[in-house]
Amino acid sequence: MTATLADVAARARVSPATVSRVLNGNYPVAAATRERVLRAVDELDYVLNGPASSLAAATSDLVGILVNDIADPFFGIMAGAAQSEIGGGPGAREKLAVVCNTGGSPERELTYLTLLQRQRAAAVILTGGALEDPGHAAAVAAKLGRLAEAGARIVLCGRPPLVLPGAGAGTGVRPAVAATLTFDNRGGSRRLTEHLLALGHRRIGYVAGPEERTTTRHRVEGHLAALADAGVAPGPLVHGSYDRRSGYDATLELLRLDPSLTAVVAANDTVALGACAALRDRGLSIPDDVSVAGFDDLPFSTDAVPALTTVRLPLYEAGARAGRLAMGKEPVPPGGIATVHGELMVRGSTGRTRA
């Protein structure tokens, strides 16, 4: 049964007028009330009703770009590159790109998708790793499927493939154009660890990202695969956030678990900066005492002292391609999926172990 505006109002314990104000954005509403209304919208999957339902198959000039953290260069670079391709161009209508910052919240991710569906978005780009939760994955797939049925193009950038349930089937709406640009996190992580092994490192600690993210799992799997192939036992591993403070605290924990570590692999370059700071505060030299490696090759990586060994992901190129796919400027890759490979960048933060 289709949810109505009155159903949303009842669920959120507000008046229908308040629901309209929140959804239309034409009147100030208290933040707590707004969150309650948006949560009810998401839970009830309220999109359109009344005369507006006749417009469900239409698309607007809006393109949504979902990111986990706009302050993180990883997401900012991809979002900016995608936005550079989301324009009218010669003879075409201009598009409005809206960056939706989820803060890593699965609830906010679903809410943004619901609101983009309500606004009949022309395209939606989801960036970064996905949450390792079958229920959430199914909910995201269902919402993307409904967006696709209404004619929106769906692009996943740096995210694992996702099967959309029956997009466009039997609706009379043009088929969805769904594409995935998936990063080879396993392969890049494997090459990074193989580099350290070639330098003689056998006691390698790992500062991993959040356990619930696909990016974390894939990078850890690549690291462990390289160790297994070399017959080297895994060193200590500590999970944390993808930020500098987490890298600092986790590295201190690694040193507590194994003071004889000769190398630290970080979840990303920002985490690696924190790892470097922790090692210096303990009086250790990089790379003479401990080598440090990151991932992503963010802009500051070459300016770090010493410059950071890392895996370069072509974030700008991937984001720009996602924008072109979202606008139909580029053909969808065969099978709808293209793998984006990383490149090992060897710099001064890694060196041979002491004899």
- State the helix-helix crossing angle for 31-44 and 106-118, rounded to 10 degrees: 80
- Say if residue 245's pLDDT is above 90: yes
Taking alpha carbons only, the member of 209, 22, 214 closest to residue 111 is 22
- Write down the domain spans for the chain: 5-183, 185-313
Nearest-angstrom CA–CA distance, 221 and 355? 29
Tell me, what's the pLDDT at 173? 39
Domains 5-183 and 185-313 share a fold: yes
- Look over the chain and give the mean of its residue pLDDT values, rounded to a whole number: 89
To which H or E segment does residue 154 belong? strand 153-157
Q: Residue 224's pLDDT band (boundaries 50, 70, 90)?
A: very high
- Please say if the pLDDT value at position 101 is more than 50: yes
Confidence of residue 59 (pLDDT cuts 50, 70, 90): low
pLDDT of residue 26: 56
The residue-averaged pLDDT of 206-233 equals 97
Give the pair of three-digit tokens for residue 12.
């959120």
Average pLDDT of the residues in 24-48: 75
Q: Which CATH architecture has domain 5-183?
A: 3-Layer(aba) Sandwich (3.40)
Using a 10 angstrom Cβ sphere, with 0-12 exposed, 13-18 middle and 19 or more buried, the burial of residue 132 is middle
User: Is the model's pTM score more than 0.85?
Assistant: no
- pLDDT above 70 (res 207): yes
What would the mean pLDDT of 172-186 be, rounded to a whole number?
73
Pick from 188, 352, 348: which is nearest to 262 by CA?
A: 352
pLDDT digits (tens, 9 = 90+) for 251-309: 999 999 999 999 999 999 999 999 999 999 999 999 999 999 999 999 999 999 999 99
Which fold does the domain 185-313 belong to in CATH? Rossmann fold (3.40.50)
Give me the pLDDT at residue 174, please. Answer: 40
**Whether 339 contacts 318, CB under 8 Å:** no
Range with the poorest average pLDDT among 174-178, 276-280, 302-306, 340-344: 174-178
pLDDT > 70: what percent of the chain? 89
Q: Can you tell me the mean pLDDT for 83-96? A: 76
- Residue 88: is its pLDDT beyond 80? no
